[in-house]
Structure 1
Amino acid sequence: MKVAILMPLAEQRGGAEQLLRLFLRHAPGTPDRWPLVFFEEGSLVEEARAQGYPVQVLWAGRLRQPVRYWQTVRALARMFRQEGITLVLSWMSKAHLYGGIAARLAGIPALWFQHGIPTLDSWMDRWITRVPAVGVLACSQAAAEAQQQLRPVRQTAVVYPAADLTAFDPDRLPAPTEARRQLGLPEKGPLIGMVGRLQRWKGMHTLVQAMPRILEKHPEARALIVGGRHDLEPDYESWLRTLIVQLGLSDRVWLAGFQANVPLWMQAMDVVVHASDREPFGLVVVEAMALGKPVVAGAEGGPREILTEGIDGLLAPYGDAEALARQVLRYLDDPVFAQKVGEAARRRARDFGPEAFAQRLAQVLYAFIPRIAPKAHTV
């Protein structure tokens, strides 16, 4: 099997890029079995080359540039034939708009990795689904079920993403009190944290709104939100800051901005909140669990498949500040329960290691190989 992986992004912007990094470190077989095509230059290109992977960079331009689009598709089809590619995997769904057509021209099967939860309202999701494919890889059962609502229905396989369990190993990090000291954070009092880019659907405002209720019982508690501004929602950060002031929480809720050393910041937290609306998977949830942290996650989407309520985590509906406060207080009011959940969470996180992910991905791809497409078209 020789699988061409198409990746539109070459810089670390989100979970899909980190997942590709982990896969390349643990991919089965030799690197030449996994040739990569990036649509831009960036650090991921250099990392892949340094690990011995064959890498090409094709400037795909924008979809509204039809000449450039067809030039890219034709170049991909030629590369697939010349390199003897068996299967094309678009690592992000947008890349399938190129890879799916190019694979059809080359007469080989193609599929894409659905890292989000697609919707009927999205013209992009509908368009991508119409591009020829032998199947779709989904990051969760929730994502797979949503994909099945689009037409034509594509065979869908769930491949849960992986977390870097080494980076989020508490035995390799300073103790929480020492982590706070190194970061300049107060060493006493409960610290409730969130990690993620500042977007409304991520639910940072829900934690802010939950803090007055939490402070009624634990006045020494503080909330810490780690994450930078998102280009699509540049005003959300200023809105959050205004909300914090309005609720009189300026000395109790901190926005730390983007931080490179996320494991250390998360290690400093006593409770980790992940309050997203229908999170496709929830990588931050797994990372927090790997650290042995008690987690409160959104009640819809991927987190429901990661943790079991009351065993290795707790759930709260999106946007429900009262429910979120209630779940956080279950941990703060009962340290023994919080410790028990954290220990169970750490055990559960081991199911999402990168080695298991790489093996599962390869097995699923093998299953799609027999579905060979029709003869190659001339380019």
Structure 2
Amino acid sequence: MGAGRANGNRYLRAGDSGTEGKENGMKVAFYNHTSVVSGAEISLLLTAKHLKQATPIVFAPAGELLERAAVLGIEVSPIASYRAKLSSNPLRIAKDIIGMFGAGLRFALAIRNSGVDLVHANSLRAGIIAALFRWLHRRPVIWHVRDIPPAGVIGRGIQRLAARRVEAILNISKAVMDKFDHRILGSKLHLVPNGVELPRDDEPAAESRSREHIRLQLDTPADAKAIAIIGQIAPWKRQEDAIRAAGELVAQGHDVYLWVVGEAKFREENVRYGHSLVRLAEELGLSGRVRFAGFRQDVSAICRAADALLLCSDNEPFGRVLIEAMSHSLPVAATNAGGVPEIVEDGISGLLYPVGDVKALATCVTRLLTDKPLRERLVTTAKRRVGSQFTIQSTAERVEAVYGTIYRPDRLRNAELRERNSYES
């Protein structure tokens, strides 16, 4: 099926929908290997929405991602789904290789027939497929790396592939970028932090209504303190630390409720971990104070209704929920690891604590909830910081600046001829 826009339950061809390219005619394929929406997919949608020079087309398996893209008026192209699982079973490995080849072949043919000029891969998995099948689609490939890259043999193989078949690598944080070998990839590496849409000026008028509505939904008293941890349910996100910290606060006499917002996605171990969190809350006698809210799209409303946001991850590549919270004047306490310190300056725009230190986390939360001057100073600085460094407009501008170094029609045609000759010789 060709590129088009989703309308109801069907996809329309771009020509039928009235889609027109932007001034310079550049078309960019945003390639995502999954239809499941998480932080990376939200960042993709926001970036595509705010491009000013390029026309985006989202290539992904049919599902929620394409549906959301269509609602935003972004052109879409459904492609075959492919998902491999790590295994030591030779038959499983062979099956996955065949599956990857088939998915890559279909993707490359779709790209060749779409008229796009660049391929913007939204994950390492998508980037590997786009790079491996460049011989067929013959389009420049950009990787948008949103996770900490693997080390060891696999990591070295990925970097060698990037050196040969990738034009640019966009990194959401220095923590991510520093995992690449700058000696061989230095000129291809670009720092492009995630961005958010800043709250509108008229949002504060609805804040009290939103706060009341969310608290009713989550069965939380209006006068209680609510702390939230938002993100996919996974062991490396360490939601158990938030539950244990809530237990510490309740034991100290604080009237605190914890909202665990997120869903266990992608792996069976995440589902098992989600079940273990429910058991932990029961074991600590917190079933009446921990609310498992599941996946929610209204993160802004959650931020307006809560009193503090927690991020407890082992090694968060960036932490877009932090900038979402900070933009809504919600104070944050987060782990001092990964890309988090690039966002939160300890004691200036939020509070940081060592990974896994539940008592330190509980102390941070207590300070945020009880020290009003500190809270007001932190949220004022944090909101200003997001407005100056982490807007989606800034992200889109940086992305298009990289496009501009690659998209030169005459140069691309010459490069394509050279690449074709190199494969045929």
Q: Which residue of 2 aligns with 1:272?
A: 309
Q: Residue 288 in 1 paired to residue 288 in 2?
A: no
Q: 1:253 aligns with which of 269, 290, 295?
A: 290
Shift of 1:20: 1.6
| Closer, same or farther: CA 296–75 of 1 in aligned 2, 3 Å | same
Task: Count residues with an aligned counterpart.
Answer: 374
Task: Determine if contact 1:109/1:133 at 8 Å carries over to the other structure.
Answer: yes
Q: Deviations over 1:111-158 (max 9, x none)?
A: 2111101121584x5544343223321111101112338987783211
Secondary structure of the residue that 1:234 maps to in structure 2?
helix
Q: 1:105-254 maps to which residues of 2 (within 5 A)?
A: 105-121=136-152, 123=154, 125-131=155-161, 132-148=165-181, 155-166=188-199, 171=204, 173-175=206-208, 178-183=212-217, 184-230=219-265, 231-232=267-268, 233-254=270-291
Q: Which residue of 2 aligns with 1:339?
A: 376
Task: Determine if contact 2:57/2:75 at 8 Å carries over to the other structure.
Answer: yes
TM-score (norm 2): 0.77
Q: Which structure 2 segments of 5+ residues have no match?
A: 1-25, 85-94
Shift of 1:28: 1.6
Paired with 2:201 and 2:148, the residues of 1 have a C-alpha distance of 26
Task: Determine if contact 1:159/1:361 at 8 Å carries over to the other structure.
Answer: yes
| Closer, same or farther: CA 43–150 of 1 in aligned 2, 3 Å | farther
Q: Residue 17 in 1 paired to residue 41 in 2?
A: yes
Q: Which moved more, 1:297-306 or 1:367-376?
A: 367-376
Paired with 1:116 and 1:150, the residues of 2 have a C-alpha distance of 21
Q: Which residue of 1 aligns with 2:29?
A: 4
Q: Deviations over 1:224-271 (max 9, x none)?
A: 222223443222223223322333333333333333433222322111
Secondary structure of the residue that 2:333 maps to in structure 1?
strand
| Closer, same or farther: CA 170–128 of 1 in aligned 2, 3 Å | farther
Q: Which residue of 2 aligns with 1:354?
A: 392
| Closer, same or farther: CA 79–229 of 1 in aligned 2, 3 Å | closer
Task: Determine if contact 1:189/1:220 at 8 Å carries over to the other structure.
Answer: yes
Percent identity between matched residues is: 28
| Closer, same or farther: CA 44–118 of 1 in aligned 2, 3 Å | same
1 or 2 for the larger relative contact order (CA 8 Å, sep ≥6)? 1
- Letter paired with 2:263: G
Shift of 1:293: 0.8
Q: 2:62 aligns with which of 41, 50, 57?
A: 41
Q: 1:96 aligns with which of 116, 123, 127?
A: 127
Task: Determine if contact 1:113/1:138 at 8 Å carries over to the other structure.
Answer: yes
Shift of 1:100: 0.7
| Closer, same or farther: CA 196–53 of 1 in aligned 2, 3 Å | closer
| Closer, same or farther: CA 154–29 of 1 in aligned 2, 3 Å | closer
Q: Which structure 1 segments of 5+ residues have no match?
A: none
Task: Determine if contact 1:136/1:154 at 8 Å carries over to the other structure.
Answer: no
Task: Determine if contact 1:88/1:103 at 8 Å carries over to the other structure.
Answer: no
Paired with 1:323 and 1:188, the residues of 2 have a C-alpha distance of 25
- Bigger helix fraction: 2
